[in-house]
Amino acid sequence: MRRSPPPASATSAEPALDQGADALRLIREIARQRGFDTHAARLLVDTTSARLWLASGVPLADVLTMLEVLHRFELSPQAARVHAMDVVCAVQQAAADNAEHESIHHHKELRHAAA
């Protein structure tokens, strides 16, 4: 029998999702915290989920479908598709920015390394 993961805060969304926490329940828990509304909590959980799924090799089309289905009862089909596309684009942009930053940082280290 699988135990339920402990309640998650905004900073622990990734470990909670990685341990199998229910995304909709996690969104509600985060939204109850001070300073988070439902939209911000949804973005946090969806972005974290999409990043984990893509990093584990889930195809892009499947990530979009999972995000759409996750919100099928709270958003219209078109709004769910737009939300899913926004989340995936943000995750891909963040990954590209991180890769570029790492490349620049590595280049500077090599240039300033002692000979």
> How do the pLDDT tens digits run along the chain, 115 residues long?
333 344 444 456 888 888 888 888 888 888 888 777 888 888 989 999 999 999 999 999 999 999 999 998 989 999 999 999 999 999 999 878 766 656 555 555 555 555 5
**Joined tokens for residue 105:** 């940082």
The model's pTM is 0.69
Task: Please give the DSSP secondary-structure letter assigned to residue 76.
Answer: -
- 33 SS3 class: coil
Question: How many CA atoms, within 13 angstroms, populate the side-chain half-sphere of residue 39?
Answer: 2
Token digits of residue 51: 């990043």
* Burial track 41-53 (b if 16+ CB lie within 10 A, e otherwise): bbbbbbbbbbbbb
- Residue 68: CB atoms within 10 Å: 19
| pLDDT value for 63 | 96
Q: How far apart (Å, rounded) are the C-alpha atoms in residues 2 and 86?
A: 33
Query: Residue 19: CB partners within 8 Å, gap ≥ 6?
Result: 5
DSSP collapsed to 3 states, 37-61: CHHHHHHHHHHHHHHHHHHCCCCHH
